[in-house]
Chain A
Amino acid sequence: MNNSEGLLKVENLKKWFEMRKGILSNPVFVRAVDDVSFSLGKGEAMSLVGESGSGKTTLGKTILRLYKPTEGKIIVNNKDISNANPKELMWYRRETSIIEQDPYGALPSFFTIYRILEEPLLIHKFGNLEERRKRIHEVLDEVRLTPIEDFASKYPHMLSGGQLQRVAIARALTLRPKLVIADEPVSMLDASVRIEILNLLRELQRNLGISFIYVTHDLTTTKYFSERLFIMYAGKIIESGRMFEVIHNPQHPYTEALLNAIPDPDAENRKVLRNIPPGEPPNLVNPPSGCRFHPRCPYKMDICDKKEPSTFEPEREHYTMCWLHEIK
């Protein structure tokens, strides 16, 4: 949508999953990501927020080319990688990495921490034994798993959830990637550890100049984490802009509902009902016509169920897909 001097540019990206009810029946498609465009600058952090089933994880994984896009383009450093084959993607694998939700399942239990961190270096034929050792010590120090020698020789079962997630972060950083996607990196961790891990990620992102996509359902934590906020609903990015503007001046009725739904600790909360639209996100096989939020929208107009809204820019660099902002 903006920022042409970017690292990553996504144009009209679609990822539909084929689903068959029986062998002979016609396939139906789950439109997990449906026509998404945006760009991300070098060293920039963005948050991608949506409810479960909104397509945020699919979008992240498609960008990393863990899924093949159905349509559209993914352009990295002016190279189009949307249709590249696995061999052509080796350089891309080296420059990108992912941190997933479940640190308990993400690390092989029969490898020591050292071996886990060495794996990506071996795959990408990085340096000799000594250079690898140096790099592994470097990343362990960065994620503050010290004393390093102690942790390097441990196995995953000997660590706590927070420590495991630090290992997962270290592993994501071993090859010095340019783009990291963290998909709900703290939702499985104890509340008291979450802030610690998020602070660490933010610090590393800044110090190492990584472009970062933080994928989450938890809007409250994004504020401390990124400059830009993208809100996803039913496979589409329905609002995006600078963090402060989106949070304090939401332009899409869905974003407004999402913000209304989140309490800050306040004794007055118990006395009032929250102003929330009823219903739940739509089925992505047969999404509603026109604007996908129209069945739940309190401001629904005639046009909303007939025509899909285009992207409007009601404020500078603040975009929304909602007919309310059409300039007549």
Chain B
Amino acid sequence: MTENILTCKNLVLHYTAKKGVVKAVNGISISLLKGESLALVGESGCGKTSLAKAIIRLLPRNIHTYNGEILIDGQDTMKLSEKQFREEIRWKKISMIFQGAMNSLNPVLKVGYQVAEPLLIHEKMKKNEALERAKKALSVVGIQESFVERYPFELSGGMKQRVVTAMALITNPAIIILDEPTSALDVITQANIMNLLKRLKKERGLSYFFITHDIALSSELADKIAVMYAGEIQEIASADIFYKKPAHPYSKKLMASVPTLRTDKKPEFIVGSPASLINPPSGCKFHPRCPSAFDKCIKETPPTFDLGSGHLAKCWLFEKGWGKE
């Protein structure tokens, strides 16, 4: 029986900004099974990265509201102090590969030390021992052990991405958050990194929380897809359902906008621009761009409807069930 490794309930994260309160994460409930990968997709500025940061609790200073429930491996992390969270959860149970992380390696430190750093900080390990572990972690991601002595400038982009992957793996976390892990890489290198992530998932039973704006790429890892718009999850569906028949009008639009290589489908663009997180539209936040919007959508925020077997959609069309709309 598989169990939830990560559960969020009604998670809220709002920031204070000059122009008002930025409602980046707005009552999100989401769960991830052990060994399962979830892809979080959406346009830029919809709050994807904020949701990840709320989960791993790496927050900026200008927090307005931060509440809800987060269970990581059965532990209610919202009740932990910052010190406890750092010692017990962050990097031990959940780690993260940040967007553009490969370009934030410290240029004056050897790669080995940087990979070993989480062990020195989170496990208070001795330096020699940690470096040995770093060698092992590098070989797991396909880099020769001797590279612990190299500096970042001696590595190519793909190798640097492997190094930051090794950093995220070294403490053996159960969950890894991948925030656009290949956005600065060429397609062939990207495919190589995806192969690596697939292999690691299989060998180690890892759970990925994979953030991307690229729908085609999301299908490389996702067992389950969550579509985010304006700080809310609009649809959650299994990969088998989502790529064939998404339910929510926004998901349909997203799928239709993907250029494909092997089919003759012409990609379409989504009219209008993404909703503001400061002054979001009333009712359903997608209604100004939605081709199926009706009166109710403008007035009332839709609840999340269950379309069966874990398929959820936040849209009034499904008030009477799926296929009956």
Contacts and interface: CB of A to CB of B under 8 A. Distances in A.
A262 B215 CA distance: 12
B216 A263 contact: yes
Contacts of A267: 219, 238-240, 242-244
Interface in A276-293: 276-278, 280-281
A270 B269 contact: no
B263 A270 contact: no
Contacts of A199: 269
A269 B220 contact: yes
A317 to B, nearest CB: 21
Contact of A51 (B188, B238, B274): B188
Given A190-B43, A265-B243, A274-B195, A219 B188 contact: no
B226 to A, nearest CB: 15
Contact of A265 (B156, B158, B219, B269): B219
B159 to A, nearest CB: 8
Contacts of B189: 51, 280
Contacts of A259: 261
B298 interface: no
B195 A219 contact: no
A223 interface: yes
A193 interface: yes
A260 interface: yes
A266 interface: yes
B248 to A, nearest CB: 16
Contacts of A263: 216-217, 219-220
A65 interface: no
A263 to B, nearest CB: 5
B222 A270 contact: yes
Contacts of A193: 269
Interface in B264-286: 266-270, 273-274
Nearest to A217: B186
A264 interface: yes
B269 A192 contact: yes
B261 A265 contact: no
Nearest to A192: B270
A194 B270 CA distance: 10
A257 interface: yes
A10 to B, nearest CB: 25
B187 A191 contact: no
A261 B187 contact: yes
Interface stretch (B14-22, B252-260, B304-312): B252-260
B50 interface: no
A151 to B, nearest CB: 16
Given A191-B213, A224-B266, A273-B199, A52 B243 contact: no
A261 B269 contact: no
Given A270-B219, A280-B158, A221 B259 contact: yes
B223 A270 contact: yes
B220 A195 contact: no
B186 A257 contact: no
Contact of B262 (A196, A221, A264): A264
Nearest to A257: B188
Nearest to A52: B186
A160 interface: yes
A265 B215 contact: yes
B192 interface: yes
Contact of B186 (A51, A195, A265): A51
Interface in A226-279: 247, 257-267, 269-270, 273-274, 276-278
Contact of B261 (A195, A217, A264, A280): A264
A220 interface: yes
A258 B187 CA distance: 7
Interface of A: 51-52, 160, 190-196, 199, 217, 219-221, 223-224, 247, 257-267, 269-270, 273-274, 276-278, 280-281
